[in-house]
Structure 1
């Protein structure tokens, strides 16, 4: 019961991330033009809506465990290195549960795969099987920066695939499988929505190239907390986003930055012996969700995310945390 009380208290702090932005709205003078007054009114309404949305995260939290829903496809990953080719299970739907399982957080996954899915025995939550191939990525790490190619894409997750009600909804699309209609459904059934920017900025070209472009209209309005890599952040309007939601920009070993209103807080990365960076962002996202589910302040939740991301790069494929590693993550203040 004490843990649930702390969850309520700290989720309230997340709600106050919206409230403080409301306080930053300047007072309108009597001589200002009507259109400025209307614009201010619109901003206040946005802040109030975000505040009320986050406030829904507190309802009934004292009577049950905080629950998490991860939405995104399982994938077939091929990782090409300088002297090796490694094939493995991939996707946020695979990496995030590795963290959630290790840390004992209740969750479910909604993912689709094709009839050729190779890793049914390796996942703890069964996917929806549809005709056709499983989403397949090829990641080439032989150059200074990773390049990606998509060889196959499974059908999108539809609004009707998302059921129930959740405290935290995690949007973890890897190849556009969460269209706007589904993001809106995730918004409707989740008290807080955390999203990886790849869910809203990725586009797959006819040749399988991964192209980053600004999110579609209406996408960011479905999200409360958005995590973006440094490269993904280049196609985002950071100045506008930080007024609408909480934004975390990750930059590998250089750590991450929390942007909210006019505030910026840097969160250092944890040391790691890197073997394979695949899935580090997914594990960061999962650790962040765990921190929020425990009712921890956002900065502490981001530190858990950074720690989980560091553990991920020390593994090839989906990480399996040891008992000692899981205990370390559970001891964050």
Structure 2
């Protein structure tokens, strides 16, 4: 049986620190707020897909600890299929400490059980691979018909691991990650999307590079914005939308994500439908509202 959407990659417990100012060497900065929440790029992406009305399958690894148990329960409650999740005996569940300061957003990551993920995936109509161990990349992308890969900080290793498969992949990276490769690397991929935060994104396909504008947003917490963007992009591509329209859908979901605290602050249900009807371009709104009405 072929799954609709499968997401492969990181599952973590997040601790998000909001600082009063930018930290400097040998100084002290006050912490204004501490927010703890389920996280991990792949887990966040799967939750957003579920809130869009899909039933995504998540393939990731957690430790045999209470944090892992809580994460699995949270994902199941969100409507994510956890039947392919792996519990690693004796390992700790991944943990991320995320710092939000006035001019700084930084993540410190203890991958732990995530790096013990073994390659076992369902065949899928849309495969989203987000920050996985590079060793599982080739098998993961082979299991999808439409494949979106967001390798995060491991982009150089992923680029090498995908040398023979790039022609069937939509690669997603932020500007810092993409700088490790450079624009010349785009020619080998089916498409490349480079996210630029409040400046929108750049997309590359057979017609070359073009720009997709951002959706204006009042930022509260940027955590998870890239995950929401990737979910929107994948949902659009899976529905057959053109690359630029799918990227615009990702931009909308990213904007909604930054307007709420936490990695999955994106609203669901009626609130999401209202935001979509007010702020999405017509093609993206028609697609999204149709999915939300069916969920």
Per the shorter chain, which TM-score range? 0.7 to 0.9
Which has the larger share of strand?
2
Asked if residue 158 in structure 1 is aligned to residue 118 in structure 2, the reply is yes
CA distance in 1, matches of 2:88, 2:103: 37
Q: Which residue, out of 37, 54, 74, partners 1:88?
A: 37
Q: Does 1:200 align with 2:160?
A: no
Q: Deviations over 1:128-182 (max 9, x none)?
A: 21121111111112262222222352133222x21x3111110112xxx4323x2
RMSD across aligned positions (CA)? 2.3
Higher Cα radius of gyration? 1
In the alignment, what sits opposite 2:104?
Answer: 145
Q: Structure 2 matches for 1:173-212, cutoff 5 A? A: 173=131, 177-180=132-135, 182-198=136-152, 200-201=154-155
CA contact (8 A) 1:66 1:106 kept: no
Change over 3 Å in CA distance of 1:139–1:222 after alignment to 2? farther
- CA–CA distance in 2 between the matches of 1:298 and 1:269? 15
TM-score by length of 1: 0.70
Post-superposition offset of 1:220:
5.0
- The equivalent residue for 1:219 is 162
The 5 Å alignment of 1:321-332 reads: 321-326=268-273, 328=276, 331-332=285-286
Q: CA contact under 8 A between 2:171 and 2:189: conserved in structure 1? A: no
The unaligned stretches of length 5 or more in structure 1 are: 1-63, 202-212
Q: Partners of 1:98 and 1:189 in 2: how far apart?
A: 21
1:107 corresponds to which of 53, 56, 62? 56
TM-score (normalizing by structure 2): 0.78
| Cα distance, 1:123–1:106 mapped onto 2, change above 3 Å | closer
CA distance in structure 2 between the partners assigned to 1:311 and 1:191 by the alignment: 28
Cα deviation, residue 107, structure 1: 2.0
CA contact (8 A) 2:237 2:243 kept: yes
Residues 95-149 of structure 1: CA deviation (Å, up to 9, x unaligned): 2123211222242111111122233321123332112111111111226222222
Distance 1:151 1:187, change over 3 A: closer
Alignment size in residue pairs: 253
Q: CA deviation at 1:91?
A: 1.0
| Change in 2 beyond 3 A, CA 1:167/1:326 | same
